[in-house]
Each structure stands twice: as C-alpha cells, then as structure tokens.
C-alpha cells in the first residue's frame, strides 16, 4: 500500500473517532514525526520577558535561598 493511500485511510478513520483519550494517544504517537516549528511568542509573552530582563538588569531579583527564607518567615507568623 502506498504511503498516500495509508494516510488517507488513517485520516478518514481518525475523523470518525470521538474517544478523546484514544485521540490523545494518537497525538502522542505522532508528535515525534511532526516537523517542529519554532514557537512564536505572543505580544504578552514578549512583554513579560522584556519586563523580567529589566528586573534582572536593575537587580530586582532574589536567590532561591532568599525566597525560601522569606516563605519560611511568613509561615512562622
């Protein structure tokens, strides 16, 4: 059977399936064969990244240890 014929059979069969878990399983199986396109950031995501970079440049950051210390202090109050 030709690849194009097999593809058409599978497309037709998948279009008739309403079983969401089964369709998710097919998606997982096919994810590795799909050509990966670079993720395009939304305007919102670009703005959040720009804000985060500005915070780093301005020293508005904390280490993980500092954050844990603050959380522990809050929990003890």
| 72, 51: one domain | yes
| 48, 71: one domain | yes
| 31, 50: one domain | no
- Tokens of residue 5, six digits: 């014929």
Q: Cα separation of 54 and 77, whole Å? A: 32
| 7, 26: one domain | yes
Report pTM. Answer: 0.44
Q: Is 26 exposed, middle or buried (0-12, 13-18, 19+ CB in 10 A)?
A: middle
Range of the domain at 28: 1-36
Q: Domain total for the chain?
A: 2
In the chain, pLDDT over 90 holds for what percent of residues?
79
At residue 36, the pLDDT reads 72
| 71, 48: one domain | yes
Q: Which of 26, 31, 21, 32 is nearest to 11 (CA)?
A: 26
pLDDT tens for each residue of 31-66? 877 767 777 899 999 999 999 999 999 999 999 999
């Amino acid at each position: 059977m030709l690849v194009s014929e097999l593809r058409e059979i599978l497309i037709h069969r998948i279009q008739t399936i309403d079983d969401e878990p089964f369709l998710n399983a097919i998606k997982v199986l096919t994810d590795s064969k799909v050509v990966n396109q670079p993720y395009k950031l939304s305007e919102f995501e670009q703005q959040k990244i720009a804000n985060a970079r500005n915070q780093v440049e301005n020293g508005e950051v904390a280490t993980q240890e500092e954050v844990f210390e603050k959380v522990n202090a809050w929990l003890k109050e």
